[in-house]
Amino acid sequence: MNLFEKHEALLKKAMDALHARTFFAAFPEHPAPAIYGETADADGQAHFKNQLGKKFEELKQTHTTGWGGQEESPYTQEPLSVLYPMASVDTLISNATKAFHTWRKVAANERAGILLESLERMKKRFFEIAYATMHTTGQGFMMAFQASGPHAADRALEAVAAGYEELNRFPAHALWDKPMGKFNIQLNKQWQAVPKGISVVIGCSTFPTWNSVTGIYGSLITGNPVIVKPHPGAILPIAIFVAEIQKVLAENNLDPNTCQLAVDTFDKMITHQLAEHPSVKLIDYTGNAAFGSYLEALPGKTVFTEKTGVNSVIIDSVDDADKAAANLAFSVNLYSGQMCTAPQNFFIPAAGIQSPNGKISFDDFAQKFAGQISSLVDNPKAGPFVLGAIQNKKTKERTTEAEKLPGKLILKSRTLENPFFKNARTATPVVVEITADKKDIFGKELFGPIALLIKTQNTDESILLAQEMAWKHGAISCAAYTTDPSVKEKIADAMALATTPVSFNLTGGIYMNQNAAFSDFHVTGGNPAGNASFTNPEYVAKRFTWVGHREPVKQNG
């Protein structure tokens, strides 16, 4: 049985799931011993610890020269001292160019088999990837496991399924038989999906696998060689993915340089040089808006970006104010607000919000919200693990400085002791009340655990501001609370026009930050938060070009 046959049933399930958009997950998100094995956690942790201070020798890519790596754990604030093989941009490109001419000729079935096999292998390394993610991003263990392991693998599978569907959208051959009256003109036609060329996937420091694998697998399934350029602060999780892909390639007598890791260091970044190389045709990027916009404007490249967004919460009326406040507090606490889907701007009418128990004033809701944040933060069994650590010193500084924003400080940020990592870089959320005219303050992304409660004249103003923020500055998520169907319709329409998905009236164990493969499109691609979407047809179709050749049918006799 070849790899395609081995994984065909899963691929078909994934293709069906893409269209059904109901719940589907191929990789269990719970790190339970019953699922992943009794020793999986301990083994994974041991593997991770054993890698520290050593060379990462699993990669099979060629022509590397020297070793480098500057990762540091936000939990220990110590270097990981993992060293990765490095290569010049010219070497990476020449390796990729060579691999291109083999990989592009590998049939889509075979590519799919290899990629799905690599994901199945990855399953055995989810715990190791989780610890690597914790100690590069600062995520708590549970998020690190889920986001970098099963959820990332599901997103990768989704990209393979979407790509496979597009590659099979049109026939490889057809007879074109045109009646001309006395005779027919007959042409044999054939179509091929021609891959665009070298793909560079530029990773971010907070979600080193989740935000990169869709681009990697999306480019690979469509026949393009990939150069993975991780953030210099978060290499190890994606290095493990690349190593597993290279192993499966090599086992199948294919060039491991089809998917290369391009490590650089903070003092000598190679991203510009890679992106601008004329042979690079595809670029996937997650990160700040300025660099993303620079990439989008590069001529002759197909660029997929996820940049920054200003996510809004519109609070009009609630069924249960405490449950709403608790849900939103969790969204702000989760990974200390370092998710691209975390809320920042909370638009609340000055006159307060309706509830079945009467009107709740702005101040009362602000206190409920701050109270729910603190209650989670102060719960020693939950707080440190939900909040995790702060990836970047600048995020910590930004959070502290937010106290000085021109408004009313509702909740101060403070450090939070982690029982396992005394030296963890932490910051609990800061909550500031500001007025609706301070667009210069709330009209930009304040990355980190920073929540702004913005006092509006009424819900109509809240909606207009949320829409304006999404249009002008981008938005990836939005939450809204309303018990009024006409207000709901108004919010749904206004935010749809700003191409921002809205989560209505969330309470309980589901949060606006969360985003499910095969169901939720991640980033719509329609507003300045990014030009691409996981995983719509465009996301994969733009990675290749349909080309059709034709020739008259030979007449016999």
For residues 54 and 170, which CB has a smaller minimum distance to a copy of itself in the complex? 170
For residues 250 and 497, which CB has a smaller minimum distance to a copy of itself in the complex? 497
The DSSP-derived string for 34-69 is HHH-TTHHHHHHHHHHHHTTSB-------S---EE-
What is the separation of C-alpha 36 from the centre of its chain, rounded to a whole number of angstroms?
A: 24
In whole angstroms, how close is the CB of 506 to a copy of itself at the nearest point?
6
For residues 206 and 527, which CB has a smaller minimum distance to a copy of itself in the complex? 527
For residues 67 and 504, which CB has a smaller minimum distance to a copy of itself in the complex? 504
In whole angstroms, how close is the CB of 22 to a copy of itself at the nearest point?
5
The two three-digit tokens of residue 85, written as one number: 């093989």
* CA separation for the pair 362, 407 (Å, rounded): 14
In whole angstroms, how close is the CB of 222 to a copy of itself at the nearest point?
13
* CA separation for the pair 145, 220 (Å, rounded): 24
In whole angstroms, how close is the CB of 12 to a copy of itself at the nearest point?
17
Q: What's the CA dihedral at 42, 43, 44, 46 to 10 degrees?
A: 80
Relative to beta strand 173-179, strand 184-195 is antiparallel
For residues 111 and 301, which CB has a smaller minimum distance to a copy of itself in the complex? 301
For residues 178 and 404, which CB has a smaller minimum distance to a copy of itself in the complex? 178
For residues 390 and 541, which CB has a smaller minimum distance to a copy of itself in the complex? 541
In whole angstroms, how close is the CB of 237 to a copy of itself at the nearest point?
25
The answer to whether the CB of 156 falls within 8 A of the CB of 217 is yes
Cα end-to-end distance, the chain, whole Å: 44
The answer to whether the CB of 537 falls within 8 A of the CB of 185 is no
The two three-digit tokens of residue 260, written as one number: 């290369």
For residues 202 and 494, which CB has a smaller minimum distance to a copy of itself in the complex? 494
- 3-class state of residue 424 by DSSP: coil
Q: Which residues contact 287 (CB under 8 A, 6 or more apart)?
A: 202, 204, 231, 306, 307
In whole angstroms, how close is the CB of 531 to a copy of itself at the nearest point?
9
* CA separation for the pair 293, 298 (Å, rounded): 9
B/e letters for 421-448, b = 16+ CB within 10 Å, e = fewer, are: beebbbbbbbbbbbebeeeebbeebbbb
For residues 429 and 501, which CB has a smaller minimum distance to a copy of itself in the complex? 501
Bond preceding residue 535 cis, omega within 30 of 0: yes
In whole angstroms, how close is the CB of 18 to a copy of itself at the nearest point?
8
In whole angstroms, how close is the CB of 526 to a copy of itself at the nearest point?
3
- 3-class state of residue 537 by DSSP: helix
Beta-carbon-side half-sphere exposure of residue 365 (alpha carbons within 13 Å)? 33
In whole angstroms, how close is the CB of 61 to a copy of itself at the nearest point?
24
Backbone angles phi, psi at 553, to 5 degrees: -65, 135
B/e letters for 461-493, b = 16+ CB within 10 Å, e = fewer, are: bbbebbbbbbbebbbbbbbbbbeeeebbebbee
Residues that bind a copy of itself (CB under 8 A): 19-23, 166, 169-171, 174-180, 185, 187, 189, 191-192, 194, 196, 293, 296-297, 299, 492, 495-497, 499-510, 516, 519-521, 524-526, 533, 536-538, 541-542, 545-552
Exposed/middle/buried for 521, CB within 10 Å: 0-12, 13-18, 19+? middle
* CA separation for the pair 540, 312 (Å, rounded): 29
In whole angstroms, how close is the CB of 273 to a copy of itself at the nearest point?
22
For residues 7 and 104, which CB has a smaller minimum distance to a copy of itself in the complex? 104
In whole angstroms, how close is the CB of 520 to a copy of itself at the nearest point?
6
For residues 9 and 180, which CB has a smaller minimum distance to a copy of itself in the complex? 180
